[in-house]
Amino acid sequence: MNSSVIQLAFEELISKNCIIVFLGFTIICINGTFVFTFYQSSVLYTDPRYILYVHLVVNDMLMVWISVTLYVMSYVLQSVNMVLCSVLLIIASTTQKNSPLNLAGMAVERYIAICKPLHHPHICTIHRTYILICLIWVAGAIPPVTDLIISSVLRPFNVFSTVSFCASSAVYVSVYHDERNKAVQGIYMSTVWIIVVFTYCRVLLTARKISTNKVSAIKAQNTIMLHGVQLLLCMLSYATPVLDTVLVLLMPAQQRNIRFWNYFLTNIIPRLLSPLIYGVRDQTFVNGVKKYLSPYTFLLFLLFCHDDIFQIINQL
């Protein structure tokens, strides 16, 4: 009886990990389609708007790869090298914070394009866009690097040290880590939401005032609203540890299922939907996919982005 239970648990473990790996690979392939299209079109890679979007896509690809790796490692490996774990956690935390910051940058770019059209070519240059991307990475990397430095001072470790579970709770031992982490996340997300709401309201007011180019203003307004939806999807990943703790306390016997479904719904699904709701809506990207990819690859793309989705999103 015990052997059959162990066998069933092992098969369940393998199947869940295979599902996560397959979906992670699918997300990377779909996002890779947008990246490939971007670099094949001079119209796209010379436009700050699309540069920021593709940076968001690449950031999500990296985040999915790291998070899936950490998820599989938590089941497969009994111990993880401290240095490797620290590097993976820093990348995971940085990419997680990069997504909302990048969305704020995209909202500001649309605000400048509609509310200050004469200044847009001078403010939103390619050079300044890449500077903004560098600043996003610096801002995203500061909290996890600070955590690692504080943890190293409080509990020095050598390159051969290991941890049983590669998670921030196992690496960052400072008693102030959780409080500081909550404060940093609150500051980051509050700032991003203020920027998104402000730019949306300003574009909405501009759209009502102007008599010419009203269609572009309405499109920009809808685009910023989509950034808000993307931001909500990004915020789901912040709920993962909280939901894990609460649900496991309520249903301790379902710990494995809770971890799987929580990770699936708060990390995998949002990273699948976030790039699609923006990229599929943009006909420039869709036409580029049709032009540069083979018919078979495009059929795979349509498998995940049906024409009904195109029509629904385009109506926004």
Residue 41 lies in a domain: yes
Q: Please report, for the domain that includes residue 198, its CATH number.
A: 1.20.1070.10
Residue 8 lies in a domain: yes
How many domains, in total, are found in the chain?
Answer: 1
Tell me: pLDDT of 79 over 70: yes
Sign of CA dihedral 261, 267, 271, 277: positive
Tell me: pLDDT of 51 over 90: yes
Residue 244 lies in a domain: no
Q: List pLDDT tens digits, range 124-167.
A: 999 999 999 999 999 999 988 888 888 777 777 665 577 777 87
For 99, other C-beta atoms within 10 Å of its C-beta total 26
For 180, other C-beta atoms within 10 Å of its C-beta total 15
Residue 189 lies in a domain: yes
Q: What pTM was computed for the model?
A: 0.81
Residue ranges making up the domain that contains 163? 2-239+249-314
Mean pLDDT along residues 16-43: 83
Residue 207 lies in a domain: yes
Q: What is the mean pLDDT of the chain?
A: 77
| pLDDT tier, 316 (very low <50, low <70, confident <90, very high otherwise) | very low
Q: What percent of the chain has pLDDT over 90?
A: 11
